[in-house]
């Protein structure tokens, strides 16, 4: 699927965006920061290179918080309704898209449960996906995980 376009929005509808395939990764993160940022047992995030993402309305209502003690963790949300929204990583190399903010279903399915070692005892999981205590070995590999028959992302790690 070469021209897959997904639309997303916050719960009040002020902020909208679009994201275009190819997708780098899709995973459930069970770390304690994602729990607090989502108020749930885990975050489910889709990753793309910045060229595949754009805001389509309401960008002025997007508020960002960068956790000073973290290497990269950020929480981005709508000023009006508080819904989690996509954010650029501090490196600028990727955009993290909270899958729950999508209005469409990605063709890529979740690939892993990460930070499984930090999961809440009451959390959900057991998706029969590979589980990793923290990041999988392939997470930061220069070659993003994309379907073998899919198009290669444009210079993902060399920007």
34 binds Zn ion (CB under 5 A): yes
Run of H or E including 87: strand 87-88
- Sole binder of Zn ion in the list 6, 21, 24, 29 (CB under 5 A): 29
6 binds Zn ion (CB under 5 A): no
SS3 53: strand
**Biggest alpha carbon distance in the chain?**
41
The contact pattern for Zn ion, residues 73-112, with x = CB under 5 A and - = no contact, is -----x-xx-------------------------------
* Residue 19: Cβ within 10 Å count: 23
Which residue lies nearer to Zn ion by CB, 117 or 151? 117
* Residue 26: Cβ within 10 Å count: 19
Which residues would be at the binding site for Zn ion (CB under 5 A)?
A: 10, 12, 14, 29, 31, 34, 78, 80-81
């Amino acid at each position: 699927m070469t021209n897959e376009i997904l639309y997303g929005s916050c719960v009040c509808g002020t902020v909208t965006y679009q994201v275009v395939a190819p997708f780098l990764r899709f995973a459930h993160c069970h770390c304690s920061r994602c729990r607090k940022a989502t108020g749930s047992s885990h975050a489910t995030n889709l990753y793309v290179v910045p060229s595949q993402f754009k805001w389509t309305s309401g960008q002025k209502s997007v508020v960002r918080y960068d956790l000073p003690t973290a290497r990269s963790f950020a929480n981005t949300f709508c000023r009006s309704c508080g819904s989690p929204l996509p954010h650029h990583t501090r490196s600028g190399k990727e955009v993290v898209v909270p899958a729950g903010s999508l209005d469409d279903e990605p063709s890529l399915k979740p690939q892993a449960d990460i930070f499984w070692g930090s999961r809440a005892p009451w959390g959900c999981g057991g998706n029969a996906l590979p589980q990793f205590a923290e990041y999988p070995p392939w997470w930061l590999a220069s070659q993003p995980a994309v379907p073998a028959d899919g198009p290669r992302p444009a210079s993902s790690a060399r920007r």
